[in-house]
Amino acid sequence: MKNRLNASQKVDQRTNLRVDPKLVVASRVLELQHFELEQLIEQELNDNPALERLEEELDELDERNLARDLARRPERPEAEEPEHFTAREYDGDEDVDWIDFLAAPVSLRDHLLGQLLPVVPKHLASLVHEVVDCVNGDGYLDLPVEEIALLTNSKLEDVEDVVEKLQCCDPAGVGAHNLQECLELQLKDETDEVGKLAYAIVRHHWEDLISRKTSGIARKHRVHPSLVEESFRRITTLSPRPGEAFVASSPSYRREESASVTPDLIFKRDESGLYFEIRGCDPNSLMVDEWYSKRHEEMKKQNSRSSEDEKKHVGEFVGRATRLIHALRQRRATLRKIANYLLEEQAGFIATGSYRFLRPLTRVTLAKGVSLHESTISRATMNKFVQLPNGEVISFEVFFKPQLRVQMLIEEILQSENPASPLSDRAIAEMLRERGVDIARRTVNKYREQVRLLSSHQRRTA
């Protein structure tokens, strides 16, 4: 009998990406609105015995009152300030924001940017962001290419090139200016007889399609009326709102519809100027239960005699509590950076609530200004609201979408017009031009209709 020794070497290189649970929690907490965050914390307090909320022994103080109280006391060295320790605790994670690499519910905006940026020249990257920001929730472009070129100080040819590439993106039909163009984009690549006829009907016989004049279309194209009817049925299967799938699949959009609007960031004003408050649980009001904390430290020692079940139990709940508190600190730090930037760059608008003082801003610009990744800014502001000192609650989107600013300016102008002599769209365009917004009369007409404002003739007779 022979003894054989078979030796073999294999090099198995695999790349496994393990996402730290701490980062998952931080990403989730950053996206939540104020009231959702409170629900999450209450649920975790009920489920996690290692998480404890500190009892409020004194009357509740907001950050502003606390700052005033501390200002009356003798100054202490900077290292003793509580905020110094808080910042030092998580500053290391801000050098590289690992949250940017986490999977999150993909918005239509992120989906489009992911397709466009790789195929557009690098020098047009900022224009890509501007164009995508003009796409509304239904997937339509809110501005004609000429207006985008004016608002972004870009060449018309560059804007047209970006829009052309946008209209080739998924979902089909995105980037259209109206329903007809949207349906054309969805049918342009059809190769079968029914699809080609459907495209021709949408492109050349729009009025006949609306009135369903089958016979007239059949005669013009010399086909049987049944083929026209089949083409009509193909058209009815198309999506009139290509961006709707992303809205429907995003839990945050559904939450916005079902819940009342509550601001996550509140700007206020007093005799000393503008300041802000961040809504949401203060991470300093939560702590790891003392017994669990001590027991967890004891189990880390090599001579610990704890059972595996106990180690698993304590480790799991202490880890969950620690991750949540860390995520709350990071959320508050991110919103604080954003608020400080807005106070510096949009002080006129915040102080007055007048949209004439609202300066053009993009998420890219804001991200650079606060040294964070754009995806972090997107998570922190998505579906969240801001309250101005005048009590008005606005969406964060107002800061990033130029068309919203123009719509609000039109509303402001019409509110101060003479009812006996209403302003025409051309006059409104001239007044907007004086305020630094150069748009055409037809765009004024479009925006006015979007916010359901009557024409000058209808306002005069109303």
Say whether both 274 and 159 belong to one domain.
no
Owning domain of residue 135: 108-166
pLDDT of residue 362: 84
Q: 386 with 267: CB under 8 angstroms?
A: yes
Say whether both 199 and 184 belong to one domain.
yes
pLDDT of residue 80: 36
Indicate whether 88 belongs to any domain: no
Helix axes 156-166, 145-152, angle to 10 degrees: 120
Pairing of strands 385-387, 265-270: parallel
Say whether both 272 and 384 belong to one domain.
yes
Strand partners, 53: 286
Say whether both 364 and 457 belong to one domain.
no
Strand partners, 386: 265, 394
Say whether both 327 and 370 belong to one domain.
yes
Domain stops at, among 374, 397, 420: 397
Say whether both 349 and 449 belong to one domain.
no
Chain centroid offset of residue 56 CA: 34
Pairing of strands 286-288, 273-278: unpaired
Indicate whether 97 belongs to any domain: no
Enter the tokens of residue 250.
């995003």
**What's the pLDDT band for 244 if we cut at 50, 70, 90?**
confident
Q: 343 with 350: CB under 8 angstroms?
A: yes
Backbone phi and psi for residue 358, each to the nearest 5 degrees, phi listed first = -80, 115
The predicted model scores a pTM of 0.58
Q: Could you read off the pLDDT of 289-335 as tens digits, one per residue?
A: 888 888 888 887 766 677 788 888 888 888 899 999 999 999 999 99
- d(C-alpha 376, C-alpha 101), whole Å: 10
323 closest CA partner among 123, 8, 24, 40? 24
Residue range 378-390: mean pLDDT, rounded: 89
Domain stops at, among 344, 367, 397: 397
- d(C-alpha 293, C-alpha 49), whole Å: 11
Indicate whether 356 belongs to any domain: yes
- d(C-alpha 289, C-alpha 48), whole Å: 10
Say whether both 381 and 325 belong to one domain.
yes
Indicate whether 51 belongs to any domain: no
Indicate whether 101 belongs to any domain: no
User: 3-state SS of 23-47?
Assistant: HHHHHHHHHCCHHHHHHHHHHHHHH
Say whether both 352 and 432 belong to one domain.
no
Say whether both 280 and 391 belong to one domain.
yes
Number of domains into which the chain is organized: 4
Q: Could you read off the pLDDT of 392-427 as tens digits, one per residue?
A: 898 898 888 777 777 778 888 887 777 778 888 888
Which H or E element spans position 435? none
Instruction: State the alpha helices, DSSP H only, in 191-249.
Output: 193-204, 206-211, 214-221, 225-236, 244-249
Helix (H, G, I), strand (E, B) or coil at 268: strand
The mean pLDDT of the chain is 78
Say whether both 156 and 202 belong to one domain.
no
Say whether both 355 and 420 belong to one domain.
no
Is the dihedral angle over the CA atoms 22, 27, 30, 33 positive or is it negative? negative
pLDDT of residue 83: 34
Say whether both 406 and 377 belong to one domain.
no
